[in-house]
Structure 1
């Protein structure tokens, strides 16, 4: 993965998410090169003029735009010299368990870029503004979780609506029906602890031929099925590198790689560093944060 950086985001202690509100002047425009991270990223733009590129597909961002970027998905962004007012929510997958969101209620590993109509924009302003104002503390925890849950359910709903719009990229009833069958597969995979499934089994689950499934999956997610499975494995491996003391070989086995050498090679290809280098970097960063 050339010229792509891994962004290691640090969240507040004992939380699975971080919410920030940015209000920038026109002279504070910025450009962020290709990067990816393990967290999910949700951005609500009250006012913006920018472009974002996800998996080499470019989109324009204007006022009342909502952007959702799944974990491990390469993206970049460039803003123009204009006033910017936006919220940035970054969260770990563990937040879904905190909010009791079932797999079918969670935003899926699909990017979402949409400009909301006035009614939905008012709803987003209300939710993000309220979340920003809620104070920290156990008495406010249930309110925060309720607001966050409503926000993520709304994103999942918008993804399902976008699914039907994207079906216009295909022709014919058979193709559209095939697209609809890919979404249940994604939901099943995201809730299944098993990381590996063959292309033939995935196509069979969707009731599609191998070729038709591969073409539909690539068009929908901007990556082939093999790369999607690899990213699932890398994501699981990163979690074990951060949260356990398992050896590299043990992690390779748990994440269903054929051997540790192959795991290390694929990890470096995706993350730009070896598993050991990544683990050491996280430990050093955590020590630095603790000493502040």
Structure 2
């Protein structure tokens, strides 16, 4: 593995886009970085700390942290002997049936799963994570197919846990809930296709067949985020990749990421990442 600027590359040691590493260091600092791969962090002995997009997570033994691809994160511990598994995989590359785009909106944000706060979800996720670890260690015939299956079991569990945040009124009717989820998926698809353009809450609501009020309420319940915040986070992730990988001006990056104002771009970037785009770009060299 190498880190160029903040971009971690060459994660995998084999052609299959999957990696498990067991970390046992007493003192371990892995600096701020990002990668296209999604990542699961699973400490099996003692606590562990991670920072993702400026938020610090203190993980107790057996807690699970799902880090979305593109999120900036770091790991750190001091005088804390323990075992922590890092599991990384490329969702799009593993998606042999081309259906993972249905889950993309629900997997775009980092999620912390605690055994105390969400025991049912944690139990199911942990079962699949342990199965991944055991299978990867033995690598019997067809092990990559087995790993694929468990990865998508995990992704479906995470996605459905987001869906279950819809309130009781909606959940009371499975048909109604399914209909709403289908319409929300249209909204997410529209955002993914149009986020680089000047789109509004009205545009997205209309594309999904919601009123603005209804869409705002359901979107917040589904994602834990307001529409504009979600849109800005998506745009900033795009901007970060352009800052790192392309020799473009800040103005060009702002426009290419969906911001029609440099002032708005700078303000949003600093709010989400703690520094301006110019300062961020300087950190890469």
| TM-score, normalisation: structure 1 | 0.64
Whether 1:233 and 2:239 are equivalent positions in the alignment is no
* Structure 2, gaps ≥5 residues long: 114-120
Q: SS of the counterpart of 1:257?
A: coil
Which residue does the alignment assign to 1:287? Answer: none
Point out the more displaced range, 264-273 or 13-22.
Answer: 13-22
Q: SS of the counterpart of 1:21?
A: strand
Q: Aligned Cα RMSD in Å?
A: 4.6
Q: 1:72 to 1:23 in 2, by over 3 A?
A: same
Which residue does the alignment assign to 2:118? Answer: none
User: Does the CA contact (< 8 Å) of 1:44 and 1:66 recur in 2?
Assistant: yes
Query: Once the 2 structures are TM-superposed, how far is the Cα of residue 121 of structure 1 from its aligned partner?
Result: 4.1
Query: Once the 2 structures are TM-superposed, how far is the Cα of residue 250 of structure 1 from its aligned partner?
Result: 1.5
Query: Once the 2 structures are TM-superposed, how far is the Cα of residue 199 of structure 1 from its aligned partner?
Result: 0.9
Q: SS of the counterpart of 1:219?
A: helix
Matched residue pairs, number?
257
Q: 1:38 to 1:273 in 2, by over 3 A?
A: farther
* Structure 1, gaps ≥5 residues long: 1-6, 135-141, 285-292
Which residue does the alignment assign to 1:115? Answer: 122
Point out the more displaced range, 226-235 or 100-109.
Answer: 100-109
1:79-98 map, 5 Å: 84-90=82-88, 95-98=90-93
Which residue does the alignment assign to 1:159? Answer: 158
Q: Deviations over 1:96-129 (max 9, x none)?
A: 4433454125562253623124xx6454223234
Alpha-carbon separation, structure 2, partners of 1:226 and 1:60: 29
Alpha-carbon separation, structure 1, partners of 2:245 and 2:267: 21
Point out the more displaced range, 47-56 or 217-226.
Answer: 47-56
Q: 1:199 to 1:162 in 2, by over 3 A?
A: same
Q: Deviations over 1:238-290 (max 9, x none)?
A: 111111112222112211211334323322222222222222212x2xxxxxx
Whether 1:265 and 2:260 are equivalent positions in the alignment is no
Query: Once the 2 structures are TM-superposed, how far is the Cα of residue 29 of structure 1 from its aligned partner?
Result: 10
Alpha-carbon separation, structure 2, partners of 1:37 and 1:193: 24
